[in-house]
Chains A and B, each alone.
Chain A
Amino acid sequence: MHPTPTTPPTAPAATGRRPRRTRREGSPVTLLAVPALVWYLLFTLGPLLAMFYISGLSWPGMLAPRSWAGWENYRAVLDDPLFWQAVRNSAIQIGVVLPVMIVAAFMVGYYLTLKPRGHRLLRVVLFTPALISASAKAMMAYSVLAPNGMLNGLLDTVGLGGLGRAWLADTDTALACIMAIDLWNGIGFTAVLFAARLGSVPEEIYEAAELDGAGHWRRMWRIAFPVTKDYVGVTTMLQFLWILFSSAQNVLLLTQGGPGNATTNLSFLVYNKAFVQSDLGYSQAAGVLLFGVGLVGMLAIRRLLRQNY
């Protein structure tokens, strides 16, 4: 009878503790993560490394023989005026779209947190671009911007038909159209993200400032922004990558880089050289440079928008 009361408290404690300990320190269970890891590395890291390798090959088309070219492709890329035009177009695109998008989205996000009349409906509307695929968005943009599309029709209706033009086929407006689509696409959803983050800012922080009579403008930039700077930074980084890399889709579907090369940006150049002009070495050398631009830009944004308190 005596041992029974003493054993139960120790026995469960021992069985409860022992497996936990052995499990938590590099046990075979960690092996369950291996298939996912292998899958991920095979389809992401593998192709990424291959990009560096291919950039050193002379490879004029998939079925053509390939040979080692060393730095030849990089020299060709850097000597190519088209590459520099693509750099310029990408720089304009990022330089205009990113600041406008983030500032506008932050303001709309702040506006949402004030719960003005109709904010529920507004939130649903702002989600729209996040649901629609790139090809459907491009088809919609085409139907709006084509010579006999919605925009020209509207201008005609209000008596400004003289302003109408083939927006996507005009050297002066084609790149602006691609940028407008980026903004159309990005502001709404980013604003909802900011609103979600701003919603978790404790009310006391605002209240403290309100007693000093701060208006919305000051509340927004002096309080809300510094408090959420880190989140804004990460979002900016992701939007930067998105605009830099994924706008190839819009260019491909809407302008094919034209008219002339007015809308050829870096990501479209990488696509076009590989799949239209079949110069895989050139394409991947440009791809490596683009990857470098993405990396540097990301670090710069991280530095610029780091939480500093």
Chain B
Amino acid sequence: MSTTKQATRAPRGGARRSGRSGRVLWGVSHGLVWLYALALVLPLYYLVISSFKKTTDIFDSPLTPPVDPVWHYFEDAIRYARLDLALVNSALVTAAALALTLLLALPASFALARSRGRLSALLERIFAMGFLVPTFAALVPTFLMAAYTGLFHTRTFVILLLPAGALPLSVVLLTQFMRTVPPELEESARVDGATTWTVLWRVFVPLSMPGIATVLLLNFLNFWNEYLYSLVIIGPDTSQRTIQVALPTLQANQATEYGVLMAGTAVTLIPVYIVYIVLQRRMEQALISGAVKM
């Protein structure tokens, strides 16, 4: 009893002992952390309000909300950069790349989770090492590969390419999940005459749904937000390019008003924020488990 009492009282005791300077420091750290938080939020706030303000108002009173909001910037942004087509392209690329990622990663994780051979240990290590290969390094050769395969300036090549970068993390995360499936379940399925394929889809996949959700959320963010490879490979064709490639074209046009650029940026953020608001906890968990992938 006495030890727990001491322990619970200790934090306050510790703070008290450091005295006034301690309290001042504590106050300063509150201040600094919230100052940084403000720095994170302020540009977002500025982005939203500027989407409704005339250029002169944006500069004269940068932080005041729009007095008489201008609504046509969203329409302008969509028309100038064909953001409507770009949204569809991004959705297509993201969905197709996600499907392909699962199609490749699920059987692989299944194989790695249930075999203990030396070969599968080696394979797992190869995938685990994949986190440390910076994707940027392969930019130019990948661009040449797209050119030589005749899939240059198409979404198709990006759809084929994105899963490759996502595979290491997806395979490692899914393997961890599939290891928790009790072998007895598989054995009883086998007794009922199930094939390996049936075991994978009927036993392992349903039981690894949380892992699959994590992988999907994480890769949704990565695929939707991918910029450099899409820029280099898809290029300027409005019927093929994704939203991340289309957006900066608004800036390149010097005549563009700020409001249009801000409204366009806001449009690109909407899908991500919808998913985030609906699946906040899951998304945060996914990002945390996916960040340090070792």
Q: Which of B65-73, B208-216, B221-229 contacts A (4 or more CB under 8 A)?
A: B221-229
Also in contact, A157 and B140, with CB within 8 A (given A40-B167, A40-B168, A134-B228):
no
Measured between C-beta atoms, what is the minimum distance from B148 to chain A in Å? 10
Measured between C-beta atoms, what is the minimum distance from A305 to chain B in Å? 13
Contact with B along A23-42 (1 / 0, CB 8 A): 11111011111011101101
- B39 within 8 Å of A by Cβ? yes
- B88 within 8 Å of A by Cβ? no
Looking at the complex, which one of A30, A214, A216, A246 makes contact with B115 (CB distance below 8 Å)?
A: A30
Residues in chain A within 8 A of chain B (CB atoms)? 15-16, 19-20, 23-27, 29-33, 35-37, 39-40, 42-44, 46-48, 50-51, 54, 62, 104, 107-108, 111, 116, 118, 122-136, 138-144, 148, 150, 152-154, 156-157, 184, 187-189, 192-193, 196, 207, 210-211, 213-217, 219, 231, 234-235, 237-238, 241, 244-246, 248-249, 252-253, 267, 270-271, 274-275, 280, 283-284, 287, 290-291, 294, 298
Looking at the complex, which one of A37, A107, A213 makes contact with B123 (CB distance below 8 Å)?
A: A37
Q: For B55, what are the chain A residues with a Cβ–Cβ distance below 8 Å?
A: 148
Measured between C-beta atoms, what is the minimum distance from A179 to chain B in Å? 14
Q: For A270, what are the chain B residues with a Cβ–Cβ distance below 8 Å?
A: 139-140
Whether the Cβ atoms of B164 and A43 lie closer than 8 Å is yes
Whether the Cβ atoms of A25 and B117 lie closer than 8 Å is yes
A111–B100 Cα gap in the complex (Å)? 41
Also in contact, A215 and B117, with CB within 8 A (given A245-B137, A271-B139):
no
Whether the Cβ atoms of B141 and A154 lie closer than 8 Å is no
Also in contact, A192 and B104, with CB within 8 A (given A131-B276, A184-B39):
no
Looking at the complex, which one of A152, A210, A234 makes contact with B11 (CB distance below 8 Å)?
A: A210
Measured between C-beta atoms, what is the minimum distance from A78 to chain B in Å? 19
Whether the Cβ atoms of B134 and A130 lie closer than 8 Å is no
**Number of B residues with CB within 8 Å of any CB on chain A:** 112
A54–B244 Cα gap in the complex (Å)? 29
Q: For B135, what are the chain A residues with a Cβ–Cβ distance below 8 Å?
A: 44, 245
- B173 within 8 Å of A by Cβ? no
Whether the Cβ atoms of A193 and B292 lie closer than 8 Å is yes
Return the chain A residue nearest B288 by Cβ: A196
A135–B171 Cα gap in the complex (Å)? 28
A134–B272 Cα gap in the complex (Å)? 13
Q: For B269, what are the chain A residues with a Cβ–Cβ distance below 8 Å?
A: 131-132, 136
**23 A–B contacts, CB within 8 A, in A order:** A27-B115, A31-B111, A33-B111, A40-B164, A43-B165, A51-B138, A111-B33, A118-B34, A122-B37, A126-B40, A131-B272, A133-B227, A136-B268, A139-B250, A143-B262, A144-B43, A148-B59, A150-B42, A154-B62, A217-B25, A235-B291, A245-B135, A284-B141
Q: Name the interface residues of B159-176: CB closer than 8 Å to any CB of A.
A: 160-161, 163-165, 167-168, 171
Looking at the complex, which one of B247, B273, B292 makes contact with A231 (CB distance below 8 Å)?
A: B292
Return the chain A residue nearest B166 by Cβ: A40
Also in contact, A127 and B287, with CB within 8 A (given A37-B108, A44-B164, A207-B7):
yes
Whether the Cβ atoms of A54 and B140 lie closer than 8 Å is yes
Looking at the complex, which one of B36, B50, B143 makes contact with A143 (CB distance below 8 Å)?
A: B50
Question: A27-B115, A123-B284 provided; 15 other pairs, C-beta below 8 A?
Answer: A48-B133, A54-B144, A62-B144, A125-B40, A126-B37, A127-B284, A128-B41, A134-B227, A143-B46, A143-B258, A210-B13, A241-B134, A270-B140, A271-B228, A275-B143
A280–B142 Cα gap in the complex (Å)? 13
Looking at the complex, which one of B22, B107, B118, B134 makes contact with A26 (CB distance below 8 Å)?
A: B118
Q: For A40, what are the chain B residues with a Cβ–Cβ distance below 8 Å?
A: 126-127, 130, 164, 167-168
Q: For A134, what are the chain B residues with a Cβ–Cβ distance below 8 Å?
A: 225, 227-228, 244
Measured between C-beta atoms, what is the minimum distance from A19 to chain B in Å? 6
Q: For A23, what are the chain B residues with a Cβ–Cβ distance below 8 Å?
A: 114-115
